[in-house]
Amino acid sequence: MQLRLSFATLLAGVLFALSTVQDAAARPARRNSGLVTLPLKRVPRAEGVPPTVYLQQHINRAHKRLARMKKREVPSDHQLRQNIERRMLALEEDPLSKRFNRQGVKKNARSTNRIGLAGAVHNPRSLQLKKKKAANGAAGQTAAASGATATGDNGTAGTGSEVEANGVPSGVEAANAPTASNSLGLNIEGQDVGYLATIQMGTPPQNFLILMDSGSADLWVGSESCQSTAGGGCGSHTFLGTASSSTFQDSGKQFAVTYGTGNVAGTIITDNIAIAGLNLTGHQFGVADQESDDFADNSVPFDGLMGIAQSSLSEQGVPTPPESLASAGLISDAITSFKISREADDLNDGEITFGGLDATKFDSTTLTTFDNVNADGFWEGAMDSVTVDGTDTQLTGRTAILDTGTTLIVAPPDDATAVHQLIQGAASDGQGGFTVPCTTNASVALSFGNTAFAIDPRDIAFQPVDANDPTGDCISGISSGEIGAATEWLVGDVFLKNAYFSVDVGKNAISLAKLV
HEC-encoded secondary structure of 207-262 = EEEEEEECCCCCEEEEEEEEEECCCCCCCCCCCECCCCCCCCEEEEEEEEEEECCE
- Burial (CB count within 10 angstroms: exposed 0-12, middle 13-18, buried 19+), residue 364: exposed
Asked if 489 and 483 touch (Cβ cutoff 8 Å), the reply is yes
Check residue 40 and give its pLDDT: 65
List pLDDT tens digits, range 101-142: 111 112 222 232 232 223 333 322 222 222 223 333 333 343
Interval 444-469: pLDDT, tens: 999 999 999 999 999 999 989 998 99
Task: Using 50 as the pLDDT threshold, list the residues of the chain that sit under it.
Answer: 1-10, 14, 16-30, 89, 91-151, 153, 155-160
Alpha carbon distance 176, 198 (integer Å): 13
CA dihedral 337, 171, 12, 8 (to 10 degrees): 120
Residue 374 CA to residue 50 CA, distance in Å, equals: 36
The H or E element containing residue 67 is helix 51-69
Q: With beta carbons less than 8 A apart as the criterion, state whether 48 and 102 touch.
A: yes
As a whole number of angstroms, the distance between CA 410 and CA 400 comes to: 10
Q: Which helix (H) or strand (E) holds 399?
A: strand 398-402
Amino acid at 336: T
**In angstroms, rounded to a whole number, what is the distance separating the alpha carbons of residues 516 and 514?**
7
Active site residues: 213, 403
229 neighbors 297 (Cβ within 8 angstroms): no
pLDDT of residue 162: 57
φ/ψ of 268, rounded to 5, equals: -85, 130
DSSP lists the bridge partners of residue 151 as 157
Q: Residue 53 has what pLDDT? A: 72
* Parallel/antiparallel/unpaired status of strands 444-448 and 451-455: antiparallel
Alpha-carbon dihedral sign for residues 34, 177, 493, 421? positive
CA dihedral 299, 304, 310, 311 (to 10 degrees): 140
The torsion defined by the Cα of 174, 180, 184 and 186, in degrees rounded to 10, comes to: -50
Residue 99 CA, chain-centre distance (Å), reads: 26
The pLDDT of residue 262: 84
b/e per residue, 26-61, with b = 16+ CB within 10 A? beeeeeeebbbbbbbbbbbbbbbbbbbbbbbbbbbb
Cis peptide before 204 (omega within 30 of 0): yes
Looking at residue 390, its amino acid is: G
